[in-house]
Amino acid sequence: MKGVDIKVMSTIELAPDMPGHQLRIRTITFEPGGKVGVHSHKDRPAFAYIREGMLTELRDGGYVKQYKPGDVLTESRDVTHSAENRGKSKLVIVGVDVIKKP
């Protein structure tokens, strides 16, 4: 990751039928030019709410999509992608995901 700051806001245990997993909410801030490299959501489904700025998502096969404030990016288990801030101002995302308990 380059030019990206991640802050965990909170985590909570999930229901008994999902042992060993938590729901996590984070704030992810990208400076202009900030990038998160290629990664998979196979074991970590997520939603990303764009609070401020513009997100450019790049998926396998050359798929590129722009997200603006108020948009929600769905990162299901079949998603492999990267993300970057190509804008001139910061990008702020609120991310919610299911993770394996550390």
The pLDDT value recorded for residue 29 is 98
What's the CA gap between 82 and 98, in Å, rounded?
19
In a 13 Å sphere around the CA of 63, the CA atoms on its Cβ side amount to 8
pLDDT tens-digit readout, 17-76: 888 899 999 999 999 999 999 888 888 889 999 999 999 999 888 899 999 999 999 988
Where are the chain's structural domains?
2-100
The pLDDT value recorded for residue 52 is 98
The pLDDT value recorded for residue 7 is 98
The pLDDT value recorded for residue 86 is 96
pLDDT tens-digit readout, 63-85: 999 999 999 999 888 888 999 99
Architecture of domain 2-100: Sandwich (2.60)
